[in-house]
Chains A and B, each alone.
Chain A
Amino acid sequence: MTEIRDSYPISESHPMPGKTATAIRFREIGLLSPIFLVGLLLGAGEVQAGAGEEWTQPGGDMAGTRYSELAEITPENAGKLRMVWNFSTGVLGGHEGQPLVVDDTLYVVTPWPNVLYAFDLTQEDYPLRFKYRPDANPAAIGIACCDAVNRGAVHADGKIVYNLLDGRTVAVDAKTGQELWKTTVADLASGETLTMAPLVAGNRVLVGPSGGEFGIRGSLKALDLETGAIVWQMRNLGPDTGMGVKQETFKPSYPPAPNAGTDTWAEESWERGGAPVWGWLSYDPALDLVYYGTGNPGPYNAEQRLGDNKWSASVMARKPGDGSLVWAYQFTPFDNWDYDATAENILVDLEIDGRVRKALVHFDKNGFAYALDRATGEVLVAEPYVPVNWATGVDKTTGRPLVVPEKLTGKSHGLVKNICPTLEGGKGPSAPAAWSPRTKLFYVPTLNLCMDWQSADAIYVKGTPYVGATIPYHPGAGPHLGGFMAWDAAAGRKKWEVNERFPVWSGSLVTAGDVAFYGTLDGWFKAIDANTGKPLWKFKVGSGVIGAPISYRGPDGRQYIAVYSGIGGDWSLVAGDVNSADPADVRPPTDFAPDLARYTSQGGMVWVFAL
Chain B
Amino acid sequence: MAVAVAAFTVIADEAPAGNPLAGEPGAVAAGEALFSSMNCDGCHGGGGSGWVGPSLADGRWRFGGDADALFHSIANGRPHGMPAYGELLPENSIWQLVSYLQQLRAPFGVPTRHWP
Contact = CB atoms under 8 A, between A and B. Distances in A.
Given A269-B1, A458-B37, A585-B55, A577 B42 contact: no
Contact of A466 (B42, B49, B111): B42
Contact of A586 (B1, B51, B60): B60
A459 B3 contact: yes
10 tightest A-B contacts by CB?
Answer: A142-B81, A465-B42, A585-B54, A588-B111, A577-B112, A465-B39, A584-B60, A586-B58, A584-B62, A467-B42
A465 to B, nearest CB: 2
Residue with the highest number of chain A CB atoms closer than 10 Å, among B42, B60, B88: B42
A458 B39 contact: yes
Interface of A: 138-139, 141-147, 213, 267, 269, 304, 456-461, 463-468, 470, 472, 573, 576-577, 582-589, 594-595, 597-598
B1 A598 contact: no
Contacts of A598: 115
Interface in B51-101: 51-55, 58, 60-62, 79-83, 85, 88
B36 interface: yes
Interface of B: 1, 3, 5, 36-39, 41-43, 45-46, 49-55, 58, 60-62, 79-83, 85, 88, 107, 110-112, 115-116
A147 B52 contact: yes
B52 A144 contact: yes
A457 B112 contact: no
Given A586-B111, A588-B49, 15 more contacts: A138-B79, A138-B80, A142-B43, A267-B1, A458-B1, A459-B1, A464-B39, A470-B36, A577-B111, A583-B60, A584-B61, A584-B62, A586-B55, A587-B50, A587-B112
Contacts of A573: 45, 50-52
Nearest to A466: B39
A586 B110 contact: yes
Contact of B112 (A146, A460, A597): A597
B116 to A, nearest CB: 8
Contacts of B111: 576-577, 586-589
Given A141-B80, A589-B111, A470 B46 contact: yes
Given A577-B111, A582-B54, A585-B54, A464 B49 contact: no
A498 to B, nearest CB: 26
B88 to A, nearest CB: 6
A595 B115 CA distance: 8
Contacts of B110: 586
A78 to B, nearest CB: 33
B9 to A, nearest CB: 15
A586 B62 CA distance: 12
A452 to B, nearest CB: 11
21 contacts: A142-B83, A145-B42, A146-B52, A147-B52, A459-B37, A459-B38, A461-B39, A461-B88, A464-B38, A464-B43, A465-B41, A573-B52, A582-B54, A585-B50, A585-B54, A585-B58, A586-B58, A586-B111, A587-B55, A589-B112, A589-B115
Contacts of A463: 83
A472 B79 CA distance: 29
Contacts of B43: 142, 464-465
A78 B58 CA distance: 46
Nearest to B83: A464
B107 A588 contact: yes
A582 B80 CA distance: 13
Contacts of B80: 138, 141-142
Nearest to B77: A142
A214 to B, nearest CB: 8
Given A142-B81, A213-B42, A595-B115, A585 B37 contact: no
Contacts of B82: 142
Contacts of B51: 573
A304 B112 contact: no
Given A141-B80, A459-B5, A587 B52 contact: no
